[in-house]
Amino acid sequence: MKRKVSIAIALGMLLAAGPAAAQDLDPRAYAKVPINSTVAITGFSFSSGSVLTDPTLPVQNVHANVSTPSLGVARSFSLFGKTAQALAALPYSWAEVSGDIGEQAARTTRSGLSDMRLRLSVLLAARRR
């Protein structure tokens, strides 16, 4: 009997759960821009520091330096009478990683394409000035 009540409560909680919402916090992601305009985008990020690993691994003292330039393009257009923008950006990363494997120090470098970023934003309401 307790099991049936627990299952009923769990199902009730799942059915009562609301949809998840999210917001993009990029600066000016929802700025009003002229319709049918295209913008080229560039960016660069650098990250340096220690890397946390599973303590059961024979790897310790891992330190990484990662440089990532990116290129992208954004295009504004009208979507159901509202200003919309589609963005695509492709980063490329270079990483230099050093650490100790067992008792021996090791160092390696890697480079390649990172995860592409795609965004479609729609300006639902604009503040009038």
Asked if residues 35 and 81 have their Cβ atoms less than 8 Å apart, the reply is no
Asked if residues 99 and 62 have their Cβ atoms less than 8 Å apart, the reply is yes
Res. 22 pLDDT band, cuts 50 70 90: low
Asked if residues 77 and 84 have their Cβ atoms less than 8 Å apart, the reply is yes
What is this structure's pTM? 0.64
Residue 15 confidence (pLDDT) above 80: no
- What pLDDT score does 10 carry? 78
